[in-house]
Amino acid sequence: MIAQKKETFLKDYQPPAYLVDRVDLRIELDAQSTLVQSRLLCRPNQQTKKPLVLNGKRLEVVQVALNGSVLTRNRFTFTDGLLTIAHVPAEPFEVAVTTRINPAENTALEGLYLSSGNYCTQCEPEGFRTITCFPDRPDVMSVFTTTVIGDKTSCPVLLANGNLMASGDLDDGRHYATWHDPFPKPSYLFALVAGDLVRISDTFTTRSGRTVALHIYVEARNRDKCGHAMRSLKKAMRWDEEHFGREYDLDLYMIVAVDDFNMGAMENKGLNVFNSKYVLALPETATDADYEGIEAVIAHEYFHNWTGNRITCRDWFQLSLKEGLTVFRDQEFTADMSSRPVKRIEDVNIIRSLQFREDSGPMAHPVRPPSFVEINNFYTLTVYNKGAEVIRMLFTLLGAETFRQGMDIYFDRHDGQAVTCDDFVAAMETAWGKDLSQFKRWYSQAGTPELTVTGHYSAADQQFILEIEQSCPPTRESVVKEPFFMPIAIGLLDENGNALPVNTDAGTGTDTDTKMLILSEQRQQYFFPNITSKPTVSFLRNFSAPVKVHHAQSEEELHRLMTHDTDPFNRWEAGQTLSLRHILEQIANFQHQQPISIRHRLVRGLRDFLLDTDLDPAFTAMAVTLPTENWIGQQMTIIDPVAIFSVRQQFRAQIGLQLRDELLQRYHDLTGDIPYQYNAVEAARRTLRNTCLAYLLAPEIGGRLTPELLQLGTEQYQRSDNMTDSIAALGCVVNADAAAGAALLADFYTKWQHDPLVVDKWLALQAGCSLPGTLEHVKNLTGHASFSIKNPNKVRALIATFCATNHNQFHAADGHGYCFLGDQVIRLDPLNPQIAARMLTPLTQWRRYDPTRQQMMCEQLERIRRQPLVSDDVQEVVDRSLQK
């Protein structure tokens, strides 16, 4: 076994002994032997006699020089990933390091690597050290000048951060380009791209009148797929000016799309590198969800220019400083571009179905982790999405205007600095004028808080008392949790569903229909006077805090909220709660081998949603969709994946049967003949139409659809002029009838086999198929010409889709799904440890299952741990998962 990294602790943070004010890089590209020359202008950060220590990994150190003098081997050491010069001057000095690297062998896709013949970098969090030796930490911020040299034929395009300063030809068939970024940045934001790419150009005029050049670089075959990405970029630039007062600061903004990328995208200063999934789109190749995802990710990376680049994180424990804040910003952008209620529901679904599960598992950690072995393992839903919910709570507490003031203070105080989450909260404290010390527990305490809610109505006093008690389960970093500080938005409805004015001597806010309560103690009571009858409580409106709620409400109250609540989120939530209650009841019947049935009242509520044509169709689609299998499982002490799938599938089939006329009516009413357009209205129409189709084509387990319904799906697939409708129809048929699905899948592959992103959809559809035999089919597909274990998108499409979303089949009683995942992680780990570690997530939840499944899942974790060269990434996940 290779030597493992030590655990790093936040409490041990020390400022860097030396700073690097300027970096000059000269990079001579070669597939197997790239030569990197770096000159670092260094200075002591304080009076120190410490040695200069630079990080270096998977590279050859060719030469080291200090103030122009080449050092002999006895004057420096290079061992265990550290280049150490024992004696350096006490005043500013220059260190020059020459290294050699092999991009062609870099399958980890970290640092500088080859992707489809093009050179590309990914340096966050610790990839720069695989290019050259450097103090590779985010609190060392430097001005970079980069000269890239490459072959003119294979690399006609040479890109790096900042503005282009010079370019020209060399005598040996090569050429060069020199780039300068005037803004100090940490090394994780360094970027380089070189290869045979085409450029799509546009411009943007800032509010101050500056013209910014916008360039998107792609392979020639993708030239016509960049229009939506360019429009999205310009929307994001304008939105950030209008909502946060942030104007772009360079003369040029560049995006590059590559097929091989571990993440979605990377916000390198001025040169954003994107997974091609989040750039390329045409109506016939990309779905509405793809279009929305591209718009959101383009915005996210652009917004990082200020929340991540101009102001960065002091250390990697502060990762949510930039990611949580920027996710909040891109969520708000998407809400403005589409449907705000639907966007909020989508975000909450991610939190509740996936992040809450993370909070309750062995990888649970606070938004600001106290320690890590491998930082790659902490690019998590907790840091990103829960971190965004923490920012949203501040937004809710302060209000839009005061929050904006807080953001302005944050930008003014910390521009050009590497700071902490505490610095951000301090800016908000200044704007609000109130102490937020207790609020910061959201950054330091892991786990999902749980609220128990009870109401007491006194007819004699005409007073309603709401009592809230908070708790939080123990997690690895702490058993006892101090009370959180959180906003709780509530409303009250009378027996006819009318909103009651809410007035209380506790809380803040002026809206008479919604009161913002502040919960800061373990148990608190809130008094509502002048309430003439027992009210129905609309609790946690707009999901104002990321918590689980235990609130006993009758079916009558839930139906009242479904029908009349003015808060769209709680209207949806009431329907989800009612559905969940019925599903859990029928799961118990299934486990006792009793018949499964669906209550008429639930079907009636779904019918009312379906036929309400005044509602946004996208909201209706969300409202009639049953709770996810993940969220259902979280309500169970022992997760029974077979029972969850079986009952949920039976509910879908019964809804499709009992509401067939209504579903067909809405399906045909929403069918249009106009050519595809991507906008909020048309996307909403397609969403509800395809939701109706999914119900109509949902077969009972072991049952078959009528030929007429199956033909409905086949005809939509054949007639569709866009990927949204064709892939939706294909998915319905694939999950309803094996023979019909196989025929359409063959047709689909024949048509799209030369488009990698569309082939990913083809792989994912098969991996997610609920029909028997899927695992064997997935195994066969790992040897298909379209699949590559080295491409993260292919791995996510096939392996992750099966193991993370096809719960019924992955968790089959024979344990073969677990063996398959173990095989794939062992296969992946030597190639790409980051992706291998992420694939492990389904096995980390082993404690939530029955003893037999627990044993089989642990056997795979132990098997992976016994591998002779297991990576730090994978070992940390395995060790934490198996920890008693």
Mean pLDDT of 39-44: 97
The secondary element (H helix, E strand) that includes residue 60 is strand 60-66
pLDDT beyond 60 at 396: yes
Give the integer Cα–Cα distance in Å for 585 and 591.
10
| Cα 164 to Cα 26: distance, rounded to the nearest angstrom | 15
CA distance linking residue 80 with residue 106, whole number of Å: 19
Q: Mean of the pLDDT values across residues 839-852? A: 98
- pLDDT of residue 469 exceeding 50, the answer is yes
Tell me: pLDDT of 691 over 80. yes
Tokens matching residue 689? 């139409």
Taking only the tens place, the pLDDT of each residue in 95-134 is: 999 999 999 999 999 999 998 899 999 999 999 999 999 9
Give me the pLDDT at residue 503, please.
60
Does 327 fall in a domain? yes
Q: What are the pLDDT digits (tens) for 499-545?
A: 999 864 444 445 579 999 999 999 999 999 999 999 999 999 999 99
Question: Any idea of the CA torsion for 257, 263, 269, 271, to the nearest 10 degrees?
Answer: -10
N- to C-terminal Cα distance for the chain? 23
> For residue 571, which amino acid is it?
R
Residue 575: name the closest of 587, 589, 560 by CA.
560
Rounded to 5 degrees, φ, ψ at 509 are 115, 155
Query: Is the C-alpha dihedral spanning 108, 312, 210, 244 positive or negative?
Result: positive
- Contacts with 87 (C-beta within 8 Å, 6 or more apart), sequence order: 51, 75
- A 10 A CB-CB count for 35 gives 16
Residues near 791 by beta carbon (within 8 Å), at least 6 away in sequence: 259, 260
C-alpha dihedral (270, 276, 277, 279), degrees to nearest 10: 50
**Token pair recorded at residue 727:** 């892939």
Residue 298 belongs to what H/E stretch? helix 288-303
Is 253 a domain residue?
Answer: no
Q: Give domain status of residue 400, yes or no.
A: yes
Q: How far apart are CA 833 and CA 818, in angstroms?
A: 19
404 located within any domain: yes
CA angle 207, 213, 216 (to 5 degrees): 125
Reported confidence tier of residue 3, pLDDT bands at 50, 70, 90: low
Identity of residue 673? D
> 470 in helix, strand or coil?
strand
| Backbone phi, psi, residue 364, to 5° | -60, 140
Token duo for residue 520: 């800061």
pLDDT at residue 793 tops 80: yes
pLDDT number for residue 49: 85
Residue 116, domain member (yes or no): no
4 pLDDT band, cuts 50/70/90, is low
Of 352, 415, 438, 364, give the one whose Cα is nearest residue 389: 352
Is 857 exposed, middle or buried, given 0-12, 13-18 or 19+ CB atoms closer than 10 A?
Answer: buried
At residue 468, does pLDDT exceed 60?
A: yes
Residue by residue, DSSP assigns 752-817 as HTT-HHHHHHHHHHHHT--STTHHHHHHHHTTSTT--TT-HHHHIIIIIIIIII-HHHHT-TT-HH
Share of the chain above pLDDT 90, in %: 95
By the 8 A CB rule, do 624 and 691 touch?
Answer: yes
The 34-44 sheet, strands edge to edge: 69-70, 60-66, 93-101, 34-44, 18-28, 142-151, 174-185, 163-169
pLDDT tens by residue, 593-602: 999 999 998 9
Token pair of 661 as six digits: 């006329």
| pLDDT on residue 509 | 47
Distance between CA atoms of residues 359 and 752, nearest Å? 39
Residue partners of 631: CB distance under 8 A and separation at least 6? 349, 352, 353, 580
> Mean pLDDT in the chain?
96
CATH of the domain at 409: 1.10.390.10
What are the distances in angstroms from CA 582 to CA 277, 627, 837? 38, 11, 36
Q: What is the DSSP string of 503-514?
A: --SSSB---SS-
Both tokens assigned to 389: 């919910």
How far, CA to CA in Å, does 810 sit from each of 501, 793, 878?
50, 20, 19
pLDDT reported for residue 2: 47
* Mean pLDDT in residue range 388-410: 98
Per-residue pLDDT of 306-328, as tens digits, reads 999 999 999 999 999 999 999 99
User: Residues 158, 87: contact at Cβ < 8 Å?
Assistant: no
* Interacting residues of 662 by C-beta distance below 8 A, sequence separation 6+: 607, 610, 611
CA-wise closest residue to 98 among 63, 128, 122, 72: 63
- DSSP code of 119? E
Q: Taking 80 as the threshold, does the pLDDT of residue 194 lie above it?
A: yes
Alpha carbon distance 9, 443 (integer Å): 15
Position 673 scores a pLDDT of 82
Report the amino acid identity of residue 349. Answer: N
Please choose, from the candidates 333, 327, 310, the residue with its C-alpha nearest in 3D space to the C-alpha of residue 242: 333
The residues annotated with a catalytic role in the active site are 301
Residue-wise pLDDT for 125-161, tens only, equals 999 999 999 999 999 999 999 999 999 999 999 999 9
Residue 325 lies in a domain: yes
pLDDT of residue 21: 98
810-845: pLDDT as tens digits: 999 999 999 999 999 999 999 999 999 999 999 999
pLDDT tens for 554-602 read: 999 999 999 999 999 999 999 999 999 999 999 999 999 999 999 998 9
Half-sphere exposure of 89 (CA within 13 A, CB side): 10
Among residues 670, 729, 740, 668, the alpha carbon closest in space to that of 704 is found at 740
**pLDDT value at residue 511:** 54
Beta strands in 386-449 (DSSP E): 418-419
Which DSSP helix (H) or strand (E) runs through 147? Answer: strand 142-151
In a domain, 43, yes or no: no
What does the pLDDT read at residue 1? 42
Mean pLDDT across the stretch 261-289? Answer: 98
User: Among 61-70, 309-318, 494-503, 714-723, which stretch is predicted with the lowest mean pLDDT?
Assistant: 494-503
Identify the domain containing residue 425 by its residue range: 314-444
Task: Give me the helices (H) in 565-623, please.
Answer: 568-591, 600-611, 617-623
Element (H, E) at 326: helix 319-337
Given the structure tokens 């996710």, which residue do they identify? Answer: 327
Cβ-contact 725, 687 below 8 angstroms? no
| In the block, residue with structure tokens 């383009």 | 298
pLDDT recorded at residue 353? 96
Instruction: Report residue 296 as tokens.
Output: 């959101």
CA torsion sign for 741, 745, 746, 747 is positive
CB 341 within 8 A of CB 568: yes
Structural domain count of the chain:
1
Question: What angle, 0 to 180 degrees and rounded to 10, lies between the N-to-C axes of helices 660-669 and 641-658?
Answer: 70
So what's the pLDDT on residue 477? 82
For residue 226, give the DSSP letter: -
d(CA 209, CA 596): 65
Q: Is the dihedral of CA 81, 86, 92, 95 positive or negative?
A: negative
Look at the chain and count its residues. 884
Q: Which amino acid is at 410?
A: Y
Stretch among 41-50, 104-113, 731-740 having the lowest mean pLDDT: 41-50
pLDDT at 244 over 80: yes
Above 80 in pLDDT, residue 300? yes
With contact defined as beta carbons under 8 Å apart, do 260 and 792 qualify? yes
250 part of a folded domain: no
